[in-house]
């Protein structure tokens, strides 16, 4: 069975945790993982080096468009990272996601 894994980032642990809780409360995700990362990227013609928090969202493929809209609305970034992929999952895990959201 297929599950959707979507990844975004936030600038602080506080905003990442707020986002994770909203995703769970709104039944858009069954599980959200947060980890601290260090990113290097170009923004406004400058090379930026910054600590960020990567947010990995486990959900259903049919929620993709809702998640994209939701993340664009609540992200603190002007251009939020929103990347996603469908994965096949073991049946017990799929059932848990299906029952959770």
Q: Domain extents for the chain? A: 2-100
Q: Render pLDDT for 60-94 as a digit per residue (tens, 0 to 9).
A: 999 999 999 999 999 999 999 999 999 999 999 99
User: May I ask the CATH architecture of the domain 2-100?
Assistant: 2-Layer Sandwich (3.30)
Q: What is the mean pLDDT of residues 5-32?
A: 98
Mean pLDDT, all residues of the chain: 97
pLDDT band at 47 (very low <50, low <70, confident <90, very high): very high
pLDDT band at 18 (very low <50, low <70, confident <90, very high): very high
C-alpha 86/C-alpha 92 separation (Å) is 17
Q: What is the mean pLDDT of residues 39-44?
A: 94
Quick one: pLDDT at residue 56? 98
Complete edge-to-edge strand list for the sheet that includes strand 46-59: 31-43, 46-59, 2-10, 83-88
């Amino acid at each position: 069975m297929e599950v959707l894994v979507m990844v975004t980032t936030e600038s602080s642990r506080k905003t990442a945790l707020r986002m994770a809780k909203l995703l769970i409360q709104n039944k858009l995700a069954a599980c959200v993982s947060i980890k601290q990362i260090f990113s290097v990227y170009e923004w406004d013609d400058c090379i930026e080096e910054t600590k960020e928090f990567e947010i990995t969202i486990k959900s259903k493929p049919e929620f993709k468009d809702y998640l994209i809209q939701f993340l664009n609305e609540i992200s603190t970034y002007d251009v939020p990272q929103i990347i996603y992929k469908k994965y096949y999952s073991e049946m017990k895990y799929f059932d848990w996601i299906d029952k959770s959201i």
